[in-house]
Amino acid sequence: MAIADITQRPINDDLDRVPDFGRAPSGSDIEANLTGIWETAPGWRGWLSTVDHKTIGLRYIVTAFLFLLIGGIEALIMRVQLAGPDLTLLTPEQYSQLFTMHGVTMIFLYALPILSGFSNYLWPLLLGSRDMAFPRLNALSYWIFLFAGIFMYVSFPLGQAPNAGWFNYVPFSGPIYNTGPNIDVFALGMVLLGISTTVGSVNFVVTLFRMRAPGMTINRVPILVWGTLTASVANLLAIPAISLAFFLLWLDRQFGTHFFDVANDGKPLLWQHLFWIFGHPWVYAIVLPAMGIVSDALPTFCRRPLVGYTAVALATMATMLIGFEVWIHHMFATGLPAVALSIFGAASMVISIPSAVAVFAWIATIWLGRPVFKTPFLFFAGFVILFVIGGMSGVMTAAVPLDWQLNDTYFIVAHLHYVLLGINVFPVVGGIYYWFPKFTGRMMSERIGKWSFWVMFTGFNVGFFPMHLAGLLGMPRRIYTYSSRMGWDGVNMITSVGSFLFALGVLIFLVNVVISLKRGALAGPNPWDAATLEWTTSSPPPAYNFAVIPTVASRHPLWEDRLEEDSGDNRARSNFTEGYLLTKGRETIGTSPIDAKPVAILKMPDDSYTPFFSGLFLSLLFAGLLLHWWSFTAGMAIAGGITLIIWMWPQKALVQRIAAGRGP
């Protein structure tokens, strides 16, 4: 671990272990001391310098949801254009930019960042820690994400937004057919966003293996953690491919290289390989954490643990592993050899097996439990239905001859929206309803919540299911208008009406959020009677999360007594009044990767302005590259280097590792 972010000192039996210390009462000297150590300074200084994972998580959620609203507005404008034949609300170029930015926004600026927000907020609370492994890197990942989104959207009002589709295929996106700055904005913006994703992924991986509560062995972590971990590892492997693709394209456009120029022995198909070897694992990166939300929250409303925890955890990892072996199914129509089509077609069908394991686990949990039909449960149950529909259409397109017929039709658009929108948005909204009491200390309205679900669920299916029919009728993707003689009028009008109905459901949800923030009933620590560690803290949690780092002895620490779980040691029970009381500074417990045995006390960094300025200077550097301001670019590189030196300046404490074999 980096010295600038974390230092370590050994665990001392005489000071750090607190066997008889109960949870500190409100207003106690201990809590006041911890609050003074961990609380962010008020005002704009604290706003810019905070490294609190809860603040960063909420910023991710709010920012990503704003991008969702922007992307939704773009979709509604396109649906007005396509509601009837021969409409001229948009020109072809305007439609291309709108279509591209809608895809970029929903896939890259909303889907994964909002899940990162949930994980940033919840991981330390779920794992019994006081923060993420690298708090300053955590803040940096958010600032780069925000600046990357602004970077790409600044081009929109100037009429220079990306315009070659979110897939950005060459040669149309190359220098010959697309001469403006549109694609350069996309290329540099995606490289910048890739840096944010990579930084965040490293933070999640290290946090899991070093920051769990004592006793939280690897087979006791929540499924949400498994989902985000798997997605993070996949991002570390996939992001380099897409970053390389956009960088090579930028070189082709700016410096006359020929990586994708067929006239000079370049390979246009290379773009598709690099894009989809990233793009298909990315689909699961924005689905698996959402599935984790359902796997952890659904059992609360079924009043029983998740059926098949181990199978679901293994299925999560298997889904991503196979996901790296199916990217060719996006390229079945490109003339690849028959052997490759057969292998990747089979893999595209096999990947449905681990997904089916999770579906059966959710259904069995509902069937064997005693469901309580609260709003979050409705969203999670609706998600299961949409997951099955999207999965079935995915298996259909895995058949090569059928894919040849459906490729580039609206059938694929329907499948894409069921997978990327339905399977992501419904768990996200359900998760917000579920954890809103923890975020804010207030409950959301059940009556308004159920209205929002039924309107969203109805609108979604009315809006997107007819797209399957449009595709079967031959309607191609990426067209901005069509003739009345094609026979697509009816399905397009229904789709447009359903889209606006879905948007109304989202609006009702937002109204519920606003009303509940001001008038919602006070929640208390555990209003849902849930089983996981985040519900042992107050709502919202204190700045330090846990006054005493708890010990864990099962997967369901708050349900142990009623479940009579055997932790392997009949004397061992989860204990929230026995653990480690750390009051010498920003400290938390470091544990072993597999068994979660305490091995060190980790010194966490204080708030700092350096993540904000590092992200700002890096973003300005990319702006200089876009505008060819080479002196400005060099100046931003120097400023960023100085900021990193300040960031990495050693703290007073030295790294001390615990002696081999020494325990707490």
Give the domains, in start order, of the chain with CATH numbers: 319-540 (1.20.210.10)
For 484-542, the DSSP string reads: GGGS-HHHHHHHHHHHHHHHHHHHHHHHHHHHHHHHPPB--S-TT---SGGGGS-SSPP
Burial 177-202 (b: 16+ CB within 10 A, else e): ebeebbbbbbbbbbbbbbbbbbbbbb
Q: What is the 3-state secondary structure (H, E, C) of 326-348?
A: CHHHHCHHHCCCHHHHHHHHHHH
Q: What is the pLDDT of residue 26?
A: 45
Contacts of 326 (CB under 8 A, 6+ apart): 280, 344, 347, 348, 351
**Residue in the structure block whose two tokens are 């003074």:** 36
Tens-digit pLDDT profile for residues 497-542: 999 999 999 999 999 999 999 999 999 889 999 999 999 999 999 9
Contact 270, 244 (CB under 8 A): no
Within 13 Å of residue 463, how many CA atoms lie on the same side as its CB?
Answer: 28
CA distances from 48 to 23, 112, 139, 140, 149 (A): 32, 23, 9, 11, 18
Q: What is the pLDDT of residue 420?
A: 87
Dig out the tokens for 572 from the structure: 């061992």
Contact 549, 588 (CB under 8 A): yes
Tens-digit pLDDT profile for residues 551-569: 888 899 988 877 765 545 5
Q: What's the CA angle centered on 165, arms 161 and 170, to 5 degrees? A: 105
Which sign does the torsion angle of CA 213, 219, 220, 223 carry? positive
Q: What is the pLDDT of residue 576?
A: 66
Q: What's the CA angle centered on 280, arms 202 and 66, to 5 degrees? A: 70
Contact 367, 388 (CB under 8 A): no
Dig out the tokens for 532 from the structure: 């996981």
Q: What is the pLDDT of residue 580?
A: 78
Q: What is the pLDDT of residue 152?
A: 95
Dig out the tokens for 425 from the structure: 């948005």
Dig out the tokens for 189 from the structure: 């913006």
Q: Which residues of the chain have pLDDT under 70?
A: 1-28, 564-573, 575-578, 651-664
Q: What is the pTM of this model?
A: 0.92
Contacts of 595 (CB under 8 A, 6+ apart): 217, 218
Q: What is the pLDDT of residue 614?
A: 96
